[in-house]
Each structure stands twice: as C-alpha cells, then as structure tokens.
Amino acid sequence: MQNLIELALQIGILVIILFIFVLLLAAIVRRLLHSRQYEKLDRLRDFSRGKLVDLMQSEEVFQKISDFRSRPKSIKWQAIEHVLLDLIHEEQYRENVRKLFDELGYIHYYERKLKSANVITRASAIDKLGKMQSVSSADKLVYMLDSKDIEIVSVAVRSLSRIGCMEGLKGILERFPELLQKSLVAKKTTEVFLLNFGPRAVPVLTDHARKTDIPGIKASLLEVLSQMRDKEALPLAIQNLKNENAEVRAKALKVIATTAVDVESFDWEEVVPLASDPVWFVRLHASRALGNKKYKKAANVLAGLLFDESWHVRNAGAMALTQMGDTCLDIFLDVLRSSDTYVKGSVCEELQKTNYVNNLIENLSSDDTDIYTKSSEILDIMYSMNFRTPFIRYMDKGEDNRIKEKIEGILEKESER
C-alpha cells in the first residue's frame, strides 16, 4: 500500500514538473514570436516612414496610396498607423496625414469600434480618432459625452480638444451642466482640455459664460479663460466682479490678474474693494491681482491683509507688497515692530521666499538714509527671528564689502543679546 502511495506521489510530482516545463516553454515560444513580430514591425515602420515622407514631399503620396493599403490590425496596418501618428505632429505633413487616415480606412475602422460593448475598446477608438484629428468624427465623439462611464467621457473630451473644431467645443459646452454633475474628475478633465482649443475658442467660451445662469459653469469657464490669458475675456471678468457667487468673483479676479496688467484703460480701483471681501479666497485672488499690477494705491489695503484670519491671504498680501519695492518699507516695518509673533513670522517668510530680502540687503549700501535705516531695521528683526540664510549666503558670495560690514554688525548685535 505504501509503495502505491509513493508511486502516486512520484507521478504527481512528475506531472507538476511537466506542467511547469510546458508553461515555461510556452512563455519562451510566445516571447520569441513577439520578438520577431516587433522586429518586423520596426522594419516596416522605418521603411514606411521613409517612403511616406519622400512621397509627401514630392506630392505623389495619393497617386501611390495603394502601396499603403493593408488588412486592419495586420503588422503593416500597425506600422503605417504608428508612422502617420508620428508625422501628424509635423505641420508640413499634417493635412496629408489626415487625408491618409481617412482614405486608408483607419477612420472608418475606429468609428465602427465606437459601437463596441467593451469599454476599453470604445475608449481606445475614441483616443485614436482624437490623435488622428478626425474632424469628420467630431459629431460621433460628441455623442460619447452622453456616456455614463467617466472614462469614456474623459477620453471623448480629450479627443475633441485634440481635433479642435468648434462643433466639438459647442458639444462639450452644451453638456457642461451634466459633466459638472458626473464627478470632480470630469469637471477638471474638461477644464484642462478646453485649453487645447486655443485662442479661437475664447469668443465661444466668453459667450457661453455670459449666457449661463449656473455659477459652477461660469466659474469653470472663467478659470479656463484665466489660463488662456486673452484680453478678450476681460469685459466678462469685469462684469462678474460683483457676482453674488464667491467662486465666480474669485475666478473673475484670476482673469484680471492674467490679462489686465498691460491694459491702460482698466480701472484697478474696481479690484481694491474685493481685497476686503467676506470670503477668504476672493481676498486671496484680489491680493494676487493687485500684486501683479504693483498697484501701489492699494498698499494700505494690502497691509491690512497681513493680519487676516487666513494664512493664505496673509501670505498673498505680503507677496503683493513685496512686488511694490521700497514703497512698502514702512508697512513691513510697522508689522515687524508689532507683538504678533505669528504675523511677523509670516511676513519674514514671504520677504525671504520672494527674494525681497535681497533688495533689503542691497539697500544697506544705499545713499538714501531713510531707505538704509528702515531696511537695516527690518533685516535686524528678520535675523533675530532666525531667518538667517540670506545673510549667510551674502557673506559667502556677496561682492560689496560695505554690505558685508553692515551684515557683520547685525550678526554682532544679535550675539550680544
């Protein structure tokens, strides 16, 4: 009986070893086959690229188009697709590549895949049509925006933005309320890829933002326009500075911060009241806008923000003041003479982070007694609060010996305390 058990065990072990061997052999064979396939694909890619480029440069590519026809998903089909997807990024070939994708059947093939029940297959097809910049597929991709699958929606938005036609943009904007409700991911994806439509989209975006009554949509479109930095969006931003929705007011300020700095006719006094807005992030963006402009008339208002309840606003106010140069020496000095250690630390941090401290150090050689005295006192306070890196750096790499002597005085004064 025991012999039978041992025999059975031996047979079992042999079967397991044989099974493992078969699996290893299959893996090796599969890798070899794939390796040969990839080698063939690489050769075809190199050959096809050279031939396509030569024919497009000689404008004979469509006369020889039959040379590039192949069965879908064959190695030749894949090789030509890879080459064309690469060439479409080069402006001199782009128009011909778009036509080739259509005439060689790639567009038709991937449009049929849009009907697949498999989400991955559909998403891949949407992505390919976007990369192929198929304008004729825009209406079909717009339909994909109605999908309940977030992945499908996100890929469709990205592909439509790559194609860049206004029909696609309008399709996205018409569905924006639903996209906002789907998820934060869908909202952020839409905002990011709307930028790809470029300057041509600005009139459409501003018109849609002006007409909508939904605060979330208006705010999102203002966010996109702020990143496009197009002055055409400025009237829309001005119109929404007093909007009852705080997010809309904040995004309007972002547009102003990026577009109004060089507009002479813009009245910056319209921005100043928002630095006292009841909502902290509106005050934040008002500070940034006034700082970008270096609007010195708002210095006293910004000084009040150095004691704001929000540290974000305090930092933004300090940063805005540092952009106004020596004009704000008195403001910084008043704050640093106060007993509020936390606020003093926040101001010192911004003075160092924005490199304003370097201006203060350079002022140690100033012939203006007032500027020298105030800068020296501010630096003395900064050093006493352990913001010492700029001093050490200047002593190591600075070139003005007079300034080094003054810094040594600050160091000695601190050591005597």
Which H, E and C letters describe 134-199, residue by residue? CHHHHHHHHHHCCCCCHHHHHHHHHHHHHHCCHHHHHHHHHCHHHHHHHCHHHHHHHHHHHHHHCH
For residue 385, what is the DSSP state? T
- 88-92, 205-209, 233-237, 337-341: the lowest-pLDDT one: 337-341
User: Contact 219/190 with Cβ under 8 angstroms?
Assistant: no
Residue 1 has pLDDT above 70, yes or no: no
> Amino acid identity, residue 99?
K
pLDDT tens digits, one per residue of 294-307: 999 999 999 999 98
How many Cβ atoms are within 10 Å of 2's Cβ, its own excluded?
Answer: 6
Residue 87 has pLDDT above 60, yes or no: yes
For residue 364, what is the DSSP state? G
The pLDDT of 251-278, averaged and rounded, is 95
Average pLDDT, the chain: 88
pLDDT tens digits, one per residue of 207-221: 999 999 999 999 999
Residue 20 has pLDDT above 90, yes or no: no
Q: How confident is the model at residue 26 (pLDDT cuts 50, 70, 90)?
A: low
User: Contact 41/78 with Cβ under 8 angstroms?
Assistant: yes
- 46-55, 100-109, 202-211, 372-381: the lowest-pLDDT one: 46-55
What is residue 309's three-state secondary structure? coil
- pLDDT at position 355: 86
User: Contact 340/309 with Cβ under 8 angstroms?
Assistant: no
- pLDDT at position 144: 93
Token couple for 52: 């396509």
- pLDDT at position 159: 95
- pLDDT at position 222: 96
> Amino acid identity, residue 176?
F
Q: Say which CATH class 267-417 falls into.
A: mainly alpha
Q: Positive or negative CA dihedral for 116, 167, 102, 75?
A: negative
